Structure 1
Amino acid sequence: MSEPELHRFGYQQELRRTMTVRDLVVYGMVFMVPIAPFSIFGSVFDGSSGMVPLTYVIGWVAMIFTAISYREMSRAFPIAGSVYSYAGRGIAQPAGFLAGWAILLDYLLVPTLLYVIGAQAMANVVPGVPQWAWIVLFVLLNTLINLRGIETTATANKVFLYAQLLVLAAFVVLAVIGISRGSGGAHWSGTPFFNSAEFSPSLVFGALSIAVLSFLGFDAISTMSEEVTGGSRVIGRATLLALTLVAVLFVVQTYLAALLVPGKTQFESDDAANNAFYDISNLIGGRTFEIVVALAVAIGTAIANSLVAQAATSRLLFSMARDGQLPRFLRHVHPVRRVPEKAILLVAGISLVLGLFLVGQIALLSSLVNFGALFSFLLLHVSVVSHYLFRRRDRNFGLHLVVPLIGFVIIGYVLVNADIHAKVGGLVWLAIGVLILVFFKVTGRSANLTPAEGEPAPGEKQSS
């Protein structure tokens, strides 16, 4: 979208437009972490009775509906802010604030969680260095990269992605050789995709809850809407492409890994499940390759994934501050590097404080980060129906009613069955957001989000 088009929404072009479709796909893939199954393979294996690749296929199908809703809203409103902007203009300003506030919980805690995971992984590689020192190092490195500008961030994303893909390629080659040689009794089979003895509808729904959460992060692509080149369709195209590419990588690596633990549907203990992928790596490549995999997990989470998470969170803070929904200082953009400098520094500060305070608390952080994203996805699907069917009088019922309805049901199911800590923490966070909305209303600070030219403002009825 060009600068004149951005003016239709009441904004000026402040961020630098250099991101291409390729940059966005890399950004999204790094956020989702192509080697994510390395660290959670065992738990997904136990939850799916060994059918891990089937779980990721189900997850991809489930999240496609949400990705399509993102694509449709990014075309209607190609501006920074992601679901905050979409719900605020597609439904009404209060809905936008709650969507932004909800996903902010996810975005603020994700970098912290990743730093803590990375620090724990590095403690196993270099036990003499305390975990808090790794957290400080990771935060400083990512902040410096993000402050240098979006071009530097995009370049770093490519380096980190290629490094992960290189390790993944090595795993695939070694795994294929190991299976062909029968290492540990391994043999080629379709059982990881479908095991009739273990398959059941309840298992599918249980796998759905696991799989959907594995794909969270593709939505962050939409936070880059004001830094892309090539028009409003770029965001949606990159979102679907990144989601599909990562799904393929997830399925391939977990299929090969599952074949290397033949005859199993459960691991003997939590410790065995946690170390499952590392043990498999040792089986096919020895101790050296096991260390390489552990380092790849640490770097992929604490540096690569956290880097894009910090960038996405700062853009959301920038967008909400620009509309007066958060303190105005967060809308500050560096005059040369054209990045939301103060928002980046705030995210770094929060991540550092929480990371040092919650060292080792991976389970607690994991239970909290998902609620915000899932709740905001619900409002995203509602915004598609509200904007296209009710405001624009569009009659594409398949794309603008059936798709968001299926997406809403899937996300709703996962949210209802979420961990109790996630629901309690998430509802408390939302309650705080509602109180802030009431304060805005009482003090007359509610934002008037400007729609595109020729369309009614959120909440207005379109004249017939």
Structure 2
Amino acid sequence: MSRKAVSPPTGSPSPAPAPGPGTGTGAALGHGLKQRHLSMIALGGVIGAGLFVGSGAGIAAAGPSIIIAYAVSGLLVMLVMRMLGEMSAANPVSGSFSVHAERAIGPWAGFTAGWAFWVLLCVAVGLEGIGAAKIVTGWLPGTPQWAWVALFMVMFLGTNLASVKKFGEFEFWFASLKVVAITLFLVLGVLAVLGLLPGTDAPGTSNLSGAGGFLPNGAEGLVIGLLASVFAYGGLETVTIAAAESQDPVRGVARAVRTAMWRIALFYVGSMAVVVTLVPWDDPKVVKVGPFYAALDHLGINGAAEIMNVVILVALLSAMNANIYGASRMACSLVGRGQGPARLGRITSGVPRTAVLVSSGFGFLCVLLSYWRPTDVFPWLLNMVGAVILVVWIFIAVSQLILRRRLEREAPEKLVVRMWLFPGLTVVALLAMAGVFVLMLRQPGTRDQLVASGALTLVLAVVGLVRQRRAAGAVRS
């Protein structure tokens, strides 16, 4: 697709990109993903170390009220995914929210949202690789962490360079292991809470009301827990990217979004409720080795640490695999719309192999920076992507406000999934996102993230606007 075809003058609606983003060679992405693949891809990208390990910091700050924090942020994510599901079911394309933003707001918005998300996913790939390598080197001391990350990269290059069906199958089983692990944890936890697990007594509400009460650190602690929980949900968006490569994109994305929303809410909110009911929130193990380990250890399960290490390793590798996929497809879609270097979008046998290689390479560069520049460049990189997911959510909400009205006028039959109580809940979601920004500004630990992410967004927006105006000038001439 030529740049003229996708870059109208400023303020004009962007024409619809082709369903399969190519590079001008007629190549298109494959369509080998099944419904079960989509459902697990949605879970694979979001359930990682943020839940199994990172949630410990949220519990330490918020205490038992972390349940409220995850429930509130979960409701916000459900609204965002409902909006995204509505747009993606009406127009299932690999660029997902980037394409929707381009159509609703303009090419600069699609450029900004798409490339910001690509950077976020690539950095996440590096972080997940580092986390997985630390676990393996704990089992095999003396082996270099970077070598394990390189091995993981090679492994996932294999799954992502193969057909999309093989990627989907690999991710299905990886994500399934995580789902089984969390489900078993919830079953054991609920039995223990009810006093039905042999060798355990029902804890009642002692851990929820003791040691400072339900809000031990007051509203400030709840705010910190809320911020930690918001960013733990990032990654669900990948399912709408994958939907374009499914056998039935419209039905596939509709079902995947619906099931993913309640599953994520159950896993996250349910897990936090079980942990803080079974274990005192101020137990040092919650932060030091993770809340899931602390709960299993409390239940007297032998080898709890090793069990959790295996589960966390699988979770990290699954998220790493899903994020390489999401980054490569987003890059390919951007290039297919004239928003990036053409070589990056070359598709071979239904797979954007150059985008896979470049996305993985960027992720591995992040790993190397953690060794080369651990005190300046690497922390700056982490801050830069710290609030990107909120920026993406804002683009999703604004795009849905615009495109919903357009669809109701022009093609109401495409509204297979509908946002609840439109436009009221969309506006509520936008206000909630603005509220999260305000809370981030108030916290020293998140203020730097907000500033750095804002700088990245601003730079991308300026570049996108310049490209859009140049393309508009070329059209007029």
> TM class by shorter-chain length?
0.7 to 0.9
Deviation of 1:14 after TM superposition, in Å, equals 1.0
d(CA) in 1 for partners of 2:185 and 2:37?
A: 25
Give a deviation string over 1:317-341, Cα, whole Å, max 9, x none: 0000011111001111113xx1111
State the AA in 1 paired with 2:360.
A
Deviation of 1:416 after TM superposition, in Å, equals 3.6
Deviation of 1:413 after TM superposition, in Å, equals 2.0
Matched, 1:341 2:353: yes
Name the residue aligned to 1:123: 137
Does the aligned pair in 2 maintain the 1:174–1:285 contact within 8 Å? no
Name the residue aligned to 2:113: 99
Paired residues for 1:1-150 under 5 Å: 9-10=17-18, 14-33=28-47, 36-150=50-164
Secondary structure in 2 matching 1:333:
coil
Aligned pairs, number = 435
d(CA) in 1 for partners of 2:439 and 2:472?
A: 36
Report the CA distance shift for 1:191/1:21 in structure 2 as closer, same or farther (over 3 A): farther
TM normalised by structure 2 equals: 0.81
Name the residue aligned to 1:4: none
Give a deviation string over 1:161-216, Cα, whole Å, max 9, x none: 22223333443455456553697976133965996565966655544322221211
Give a deviation string over 1:372-424, Cα, whole Å, max 9, x none: 22112111111111222367559999644212211111222223433123223
d(CA) in 2 for partners of 1:446 and 1:291?
A: 61
Matched, 1:424 2:436: no
State the AA in 2 paired with 1:417.
L
Name the residue aligned to 1:444: 471
Q: Percent identity?
A: 18
- Residue of 378, 383, 389 corresponding to 2:405: 389
Deviation of 1:106 after TM superposition, in Å, equals 1.5
Deviation of 1:287 after TM superposition, in Å, equals 5.3
d(CA) in 2 for partners of 1:156 and 1:193?
A: 44
d(CA) in 1 for partners of 2:71 and 2:274?
A: 15
d(CA) in 1 for partners of 2:314 and 2:254?
A: 28
Q: Which stretch shows the higher mean deviation, 307-316 or 51-60?
A: 51-60
Q: Which stretch shows the higher mean deviation, 20-29 or 37-46?
A: 37-46
d(CA) in 2 for partners of 1:64 and 1:155?
A: 26
d(CA) in 1 for partners of 2:355 and 2:473?
A: 21
State the AA in 2 paired with 1:253.
S
d(CA) in 1 for partners of 2:329 and 2:206?
A: 44
Does the aligned pair in 2 maintain the 1:183–1:283 contact within 8 Å? no
d(CA) in 1 for partners of 2:314 and 2:48?
A: 12
d(CA) in 1 for partners of 2:277 and 2:215?
A: 17
Give a deviation string over 1:105-162, Cα, whole Å, max 9, x none: 3222111121122222333333222211121111111111111121111111121122
Does the aligned pair in 2 maintain the 1:55–1:211 contact within 8 Å? yes
Paired residues for 1:27-426 under 5 Å: 27-33=41-47, 36-172=50-186, 174-175=188-189, 180=195, 187-189=203-205, 192=208, 198=216, 205-261=223-279, 264-267=280-283, 273-277=287-291, 278-286=293-301, 288-301=303-316, 303-335=317-349, 338-359=350-371, 367-389=383-405, 393=409, 399-418=421-440, 419-426=446-453
Unaligned stretches of 5+ residues in structure 1: 1-6, 449-464
State the AA in 2 paired with 1:232.
V
Does the aligned pair in 2 maintain the 1:123–1:129 contact within 8 Å? yes
Report the CA distance shift for 1:290/1:364 in structure 2 as closer, same or farther (over 3 A): farther
Unaligned stretches of 5+ residues in structure 2: 1-14, 21-26, 413-417, 441-445
d(CA) in 1 for partners of 2:474 and 2:175?
A: 38
d(CA) in 2 for partners of 1:126 and 1:447?
A: 59
d(CA) in 2 for partners of 1:190 and 1:79?
A: 50
Secondary structure in 2 matching 1:247:
helix
What's the RMSD between the two structures over aligned residues? 3.3
Report the CA distance shift for 1:73/1:173 in structure 2 as closer, same or farther (over 3 A): closer
d(CA) in 2 for partners of 1:400 and 1:89?
A: 19
Report the CA distance shift for 1:350/1:253 in structure 2 as closer, same or farther (over 3 A): same
Q: Which stretch shows the higher mean deviation, 304-313 or 363-372?
A: 363-372
Report the CA distance shift for 1:155/1:285 in structure 2 as closer, same or farther (over 3 A): farther
Name the residue aligned to 2:23: none
Deviation of 1:370 after TM superposition, in Å, equals 3.6
TM normalised by structure 1 equals: 0.83
d(CA) in 2 for partners of 1:447 and 1:238?
A: 41
d(CA) in 2 for partners of 1:407 and 1:428?
A: 23
d(CA) in 2 for partners of 1:364 and 1:280?
A: 34
Report the CA distance shift for 1:443/1:90 in structure 2 as closer, same or farther (over 3 A): closer
State the AA in 1 paired with 2:457.
L
d(CA) in 2 for partners of 1:344 and 1:294?
A: 28
Give a deviation string over 1:297-335, Cα, whole Å, max 9, x none: 12211x110100000010000000011111001111113
d(CA) in 2 for partners of 1:10 and 1:446?
A: 23
State the AA in 2 paired with 1:225.
A
Does the aligned pair in 2 maintain the 1:52–1:192 contact within 8 Å? no
